[in-house]
Structure 1
Amino acid sequence: MKIITLGEIMLRLSTPGNTRFVQSDSFDVVYGGGEANVAVSLANYGHDAYYVTKLPKHEIGQSAVNALRRYGVHTDYIARGGDRVGIYYLETGASMRASKVIYDRAGSSIAEASVDDFDFDKIMEGADWFHWSGITPAISANGAALTKAACIAAKKHGVTVSCDLNYRKKLWTPAEAQAVMKDLMQYVDVCIGNEEDAELCLGFKPEGTDVSSGKLDLNGYKTIFEQMRVQFGFKTVCTTLRESFSATHNGWSALIYDGEEFYQSKRYEINPIIDRVGGGDSFSGGLIHGLLTKKTQGEALEFAVAASALKHTINGDFNLVSAEEVEALAGGDGSGRVQR
């Protein structure tokens, strides 16, 4: 399957272990970013995953390209130019101390890119799926224009479009997000997001849910899903359910609704969490793979939840697991025993 993702890949500088920014004198270096993480997952599952972005011609830009190529992502459609690669700093929390992210991404190549940098008609030709997230239109007005142009081209070529709402409060306000995102929803077939994303990006909130306290009430979700489908024409709506007991202990499950079946996945207890960054992206990658290859949406959701549960055990943004490993966990093997 040919799958396209569009977004910003960034240089991630993270403090070693659980050290704080103010006490660290070095950083661990990896690359990552919402849609890039999805592309890596899909390449690992055997798809022809293409990542679309713009990166500088210098060595740091090339290093980002190489990080994608290392895991089998096609980089044919990456434009080169501009001055900088976006950076984010990560301090990994523990127990009751939350993780913290500081962005240094203003003026990045993709944030300043124009629609003329890409031939979206060519990019979408022969594609089966196009995925984007709310981060891309949030980075700049240019990013929003790129996202809309890509969506229009995708629909022209009959490509299924998925969106992970992915609200980032450090990039825009709820009012700014809704002004852009509600317009873009007309192109979306599969909408993915947690309860905070749905509220802040689209104005929908299930009652009785407070992720910060680990409190989840499923009664309101089906009604909200149906309202979202009616208003925006989604074929499928999906949400992850994260129960945050601490920075290193979460409950993890998901819901999916296609207008007929409302399905809840099995629940995973993730403790300890090694690295939760990219957890939602690994879910999106797993869901896309599942919807393309499984017979039912329930099977697709179980694959996605298992894939994202595994991601929480892996350092870095990328979910470096095979489809076989995910299938084993989804099938009930969560023992962690050594595979010989």
Structure 2
Amino acid sequence: MARIVTMGEIMLRLSTPNNEKFIQADEFDINYGGGEANVAVSLANYGHDAEFVSALPKNPIGDAAIATLRKYNVGTKHISRSGERVGIYFLETGSAMRASNVVYDRANSSISTAKADEFDFDEIFKDADWFHFTGITPAVSDSAAKLTEEALKAAKKAGVTVSVDLNFRKKLWSSEKAKRIMTNFMQYVDVCIGNEEDAEKVLGFKPGNTDVTAGELELNGYVDIFNQMCDQFKFKYVISSLRESFSASNNDWSACIMDGATREFYHSKKYHITPIVDRVGGGDSFAAGLICGLCDKKDFKLALEFAVAASALKHTIPGDFNLVTREDVEGLAGGDGSGRVQR
């Protein structure tokens, strides 16, 4: 199995129960989650050696976040115990035509104030096969952006394969700032993952006539931008998840990939997901499935099918983490989507 390092922020998630709006809620359900942490949990579930790098305060809430990661066999020895607080996000889960809503309370969180000298990157990337980060971490603060760049330099120096999930968050930074910082980071990236909004807002590429809000996909547009991205950044693979959103509870889900060397383009099987239990973490479960497939040396098409099946299953699970097994994913990817009771 591969040794995979992810780096980012794990947050305390406070979500309203039973699809309630914030104004209705008298209590919140508690989970922990965050882009790169979600990826690490999935990869550990698939049997890989997953290590999560972050910063958390030395207090009981920081302890609880670390205990949650350890529960799912994620390595935590490179988490710096520094800073003053765990970031929080509040989630109001939508239904039907009412969209979900996220409110961040993560200013001055531990990862946003962490410095590169808190981490021994030579040790972190020793014997590592893969490093994964997202566009969320550098968006948190200028300090976190500098930390991310130092990690990327160290990963490339160590000969580690690097993947990014572009993950544009308009509540954290502007498209202009995202383009300036993330475009520079692409020199370190081998595998680029995103969706149509990420490609446009983070790197400036727009796929044809696709309108995600209308549930319409124009695959030729993705072929065009993938070719441009491979030309500009020399990616080994470019991948986009494809969400056709008919309502908050009713989506079609698939993905496409291009081999940067051959320029072969492939569109996966499509899953119709309804009712959606929890779509938060869906993209992270997709990234983890793809990384798993590629680290397993699967053909890139089979790796994509594994990723799409994994993320389709995540939509049925509450919380940020995708708590499914390889067998679960391989069963769905192989055509067993009946949902029959297993006896």
TM-score by length of 2: 0.98
Partner of residue 322, structure 2: 319
Aligned letter for 1:66?
A
Aligned letter for 2:304?
L
CA distance in 2, matches of 1:299, 1:207: 26
Give the SS at the match of 2:341. coil
CA distance in 2, matches of 1:326, 1:294: 17
CA distance in 1, matches of 2:285, 2:143: 26
CA distance in 1, matches of 2:298, 2:204: 32
CA distance in 2, matches of 1:239, 1:262: 11
Summarize the alignment of residues 152-163 of structure 1 with structure 2, pairs less than 5 Å apart: 152-163=153-164
1:77, CA displacement in angstroms?
Answer: 0.5
Partner of residue 82, structure 2: 81
1:294, CA displacement in angstroms?
Answer: 3.9
Quick check: 1:295 aligned with 2:298? yes
CA distance in 1, matches of 2:341, 2:24: 36
Quick check: 1:164 aligned with 2:165? yes
CA distance in 1, matches of 2:144, 2:249: 33
Q: CA-atom RMSD, angstroms? A: 0.6
1:215, CA displacement in angstroms?
Answer: 1.1
CA distance in 1, matches of 2:306, 2:88: 31
Aligned letter for 2:287?
S
Aligned letter for 2:24?
Q
Aligned residues: 340
CA distance in 2, matches of 1:14, 1:285: 24
Quick check: 1:66 aligned with 2:67? yes
Summarize the alignment of residues 1-340 of structure 1 with structure 2, pairs less than 5 Å apart: 1-259=2-260, 260=262, 261-340=264-343
CA distance in 2, matches of 1:145, 1:3: 21
Give the SS at the match of 1:180. helix
1:292, CA displacement in angstroms?
Answer: 1.1
Give the SS at the match of 1:111. helix
CA distance in 2, matches of 1:155, 1:235: 14
1:280, CA displacement in angstroms?
Answer: 0.1
Aligned letter for 1:279?
G
Give the SS at the match of 2:113. coil
CA distance in 2, matches of 1:166, 1:254: 15
Range 95-104 or range 251-260, more displaced: 251-260
Aligned letter for 1:48?
D
1:300, CA displacement in angstroms?
Answer: 0.1
CA deviation string 1:313-340 (max 9, x = no partner): 0000000000110000000000000011
1:295, CA displacement in angstroms?
Answer: 3.0
CA distance in 1, matches of 2:123, 2:196: 35
Give the SS at the match of 1:17. helix
Aligned letter for 2:266?
Y
CA distance in 2, matches of 1:294, 1:233: 20
CA distance in 2, matches of 1:324, 1:142: 40
Give the SS at the match of 2:27. coil
1:101, CA displacement in angstroms?
Answer: 0.2
CA distance in 2, matches of 1:57, 1:156: 31
Range 298-307 or range 225-234, more displaced: 225-234
Give the SS at the match of 1:60. helix
Consecutive unaligned residues of structure 2, counting only runs of 5 or more, are none
1:138, CA displacement in angstroms?
Answer: 0.3
CA deviation string 1:184-224 (max 9, x = no partner): 00000000000000000000001110111111110111111
TM-score by length of 1: 0.99
1:140, CA displacement in angstroms?
Answer: 0.4
